[in-house]
Structure 1
Amino acid sequence: MRKKTVSKNSQNDGVIRIISGQFRGRKLPVKDVTGLRPTTDRVKETLFNWLMQDTRDATVLDCFAGSGGLGFECLSRFAKQTCFIELDRQASEQLNTNIATLKLTNATVINGNTLDILSHINEQAPFDLVFVDPPFRKDLAQPCCTLLEQNNWLTSCALIYVEVEKELDFSAPQGWQIIKEKQAGQVLCRLYQRNK
């Protein structure tokens, strides 16, 4: 699934490629971290076709950022601001390095446990576009979406992209409507719109 490249630090490190926008074609290094599952180019192309009119000027939250592929794609497409949350320290450091490489001033990284962070009331501006793409088979998507809904993380008409294993029994919070859905192999991709 992941393209591999040899680096000075690890033969298992990889790269992600930005597929469109101002950084189209740029390749960014990714640490080889347990559970990290960069979204494939094919799924990214589908997702960003869905979001074609929705990334410019959006405030974006990438809840399980990993490689940062989804958040960087939004930044390339002129999102107003993107916040990455990532538990793994090495992956977080790589996100900060990639932000510096692209000379971005509208991106931040929070190194920490997503569910712990979302369990606090968000006192900043809520987000227009949120990505929930957790490591598989850890039952993180459902509680993540519940916390997003409960704790002022979402604008009234926020778009929420959820990527889970297809066999997972996932149900979205009340008031979230599926507007797009696709299955790609073992992965189920859904785009919801919040109506509050």
Structure 2
Amino acid sequence: MRVIAGTARSLRLETIDTMDTRPTTDRIKETLFNIISRELPDCTFLDLFSGSGAIAIEALSRGAKQAVLVEQNRKAVDCINRNLEFTKLKDKARVITGDCVAAIDSLERSGLVFDIIFMDPPYGKLLEKQVLNRLASSGIVDKNTWIIVESDLDTEYDYLTDIGYEIDRVKKYKTNKHTFIQEIL
């Protein structure tokens, strides 16, 4: 896995061997960043269920001004920190070790509002629903925030309108998809 573009272009990132993380392939990551490229310069980026940190590192490499990475797995957090050091992007990043909902509570107290929130939770556990419900009542999201969820192809989002969100677009791949979500305007 490598950084595709920007200041850290072509640098290889470390990953961890565990069943708890599934690194997003370079091809899927490139497609994702082609879609969001106009939103990246000077944005604040939140990466939930960060794994190796590759998505937030790519965002920082491409011009995001700040990224917060949230990961519960201690080995993954160590990997994130090594990758941030290696890419020389650590000064633009904050790493939070812990549960994503608890991290949202903490971030809400900081007054920070994110432009892009990306999450890649473990598939089939409905964690994205739990996080989206918490984000809906959170001050870290506003009408301009773009929430992107990576999930398996079978994940349904039929509850979104009930919590004030709508699907902006869906990009499907062979085994998974990215769902782009925003507040209902």
Do they fold alike, i.e. is TM over 0.5? yes
Range with greater deviation from structure 2 (97-106 or 165-174):
165-174
Give the aligned CA root-mean-square deviation in angstroms. 1.7
Task: State the partner residue of 1:101.
Answer: 86
Task: State the partner residue of 1:137.
Answer: 124
Identical counterparts, % of pairs = 33
Q: Is 1:170 matched with 2:157?
A: yes
Q: Is 1:193 matched with 2:182?
A: yes
Q: Is the 8 A contact 1:50 1:180 kept in 2?
A: no
Q: Secondary structure at the match of 2:14?
A: strand
Q: Is 1:33 matched with 2:35?
A: no
Any residues of structure 2 matched to 1:76-91 within 5 Å, and which? 76-91=61-76
Which digits, 9 at most, give the CA deviation of each residue in 1:41-99, with x for residues without a partner?
22112111110100110001001100111101100011010000001001101111111
Q: Is the 8 A contact 1:120 1:151 kept in 2?
A: no
Q: Which has the higher contact order (CA 8 A, sep 6+)?
A: 2
Q: Secondary structure at the match of 1:53?
A: helix
Unpaired runs of 5+ residues, structure 2, are none
Q: Is the 8 A contact 2:119 2:149 kept in 1?
A: yes
Unpaired runs of 5+ residues, structure 1, are 1-15
Range with greater deviation from structure 2 (29-38 or 49-58):
29-38
Letter in 2 for 1:115: V
Q: Secondary structure at the match of 1:154?
A: coil
Structure 1 moving runs of 4+ over 3 Å = none
Task: Using the TM superposition, give the Cα deviation of residue 33 of structure 1 relative to its aligned residue in structure 2, in angstroms.
Answer: 2.4
Task: State the partner residue of 1:58.
Answer: 43
Q: Which has the higher strand share?
A: 1
Give the total of aligned pairs. Answer: 181
Whole-Å Cα distance in 1 between the matches of residues 43 and 55 of structure 2? 13
Q: Secondary structure at the match of 1:189?
A: strand
Whole-Å Cα distance in 2 between the matches of residues 110 and 82 of structure 1? 11
Task: Using the TM superposition, give the Cα deviation of residue 164 of structure 1 relative to its aligned residue in structure 2, in angstroms.
Answer: 1.1
Q: Secondary structure at the match of 2:142?
A: strand
Q: Is the 8 A contact 2:11 2:87 kept in 1?
A: no
Task: Using the TM superposition, give the Cα deviation of residue 195 of structure 1 relative to its aligned residue in structure 2, in angstroms.
Answer: 4.7
Letter in 1 for 2:69: F
Whole-Å Cα distance in 1 between the matches of residues 114 and 55 of structure 2? 15
Whole-Å Cα distance in 2 between the matches of residues 74 and 106 of structure 1? 11
2:102 pairs with one of 116, 126, 134: 116
Q: Is 1:18 matched with 2:3?
A: yes
2:133 pairs with one of 101, 121, 146: 146
